[in-house]
Amino acid sequence: VAASWSPDGDPAGTVFEVQLATEGGSFASYSTTTAAAMTVAGLLPASTYSLQVRAYNGAAVATAFSGTVSTATLPPAPGAPGLPVALAVSTDTVSWAWTAAAGATSYEVRRASDPAELLASPASLSVVFTGRGPNVPSGIVVRGVNGIGPGPLSPQATAYTYARAPTALAVVAVTSASI
């Protein structure tokens, strides 16, 4: 969390004390600085924090605290989803499903190639690809996405659409020893 404040006329070198509190907790001194800004690090993801700041004069006499500001840290990037599994296959369709990635709000389904072309962005844990044609491989990787961005890719999975049965069998030549 990056915080800044106005020194309100205090000269350069004025010491500022930044205090931090977790949601429902008491304020405690986080750090001191002579800058009018600070990055507060080491916070837990998806948590609410409150900040307040005060100044000290050259004789170490503190002012009142500023107003309090509160903010929530962002959630972590999602984890990796489970291995995609082909649930339903036909001669032109492959239906895929996978287990959820922790913290994901949607998913990216990508071709298992380099580069991994984006094929779909479902919010659910499955996707169906149609119009593939017979006996065609369908290799994919999946990754979870949230407000932070994408997580790691799943392991690669490949399934083939079914081949079509041959048609129009005909005898095209006959000899005395073979058909």
HEC readout, 135-167? CCEEEEEEEEEECCEEEEECCCEEEECCCCCCC
Mean pLDDT of 69-76: 92
Mean pLDDT, to the nearest integer, of 42-50? 93
Residue 129: what pLDDT? 94
- Mean of per-residue pLDDT scores for the chain: 94
pLDDT at 173: 86
DSSP three-state, residue 2:
strand
CB distance 87 to 95 below 8 Å: yes
Q: What pLDDT does 92 receive?
A: 94
Burial of 156 (0-12, 13-18, 19+ CB in 10 A): middle
**DSSP-assigned letter for residue 107:** E
Q: How does 89-98 read in b/e, with b if 16+ C-beta sit within 10 Å?
A: beeeebbbbb
Amino acid 7: pLDDT: 94
The pTM score is 0.66
The pLDDT of residue 88: 86
pLDDT digits (tens, 9 = 90+) for 74-95: 889 999 999 999 998 899 999 9
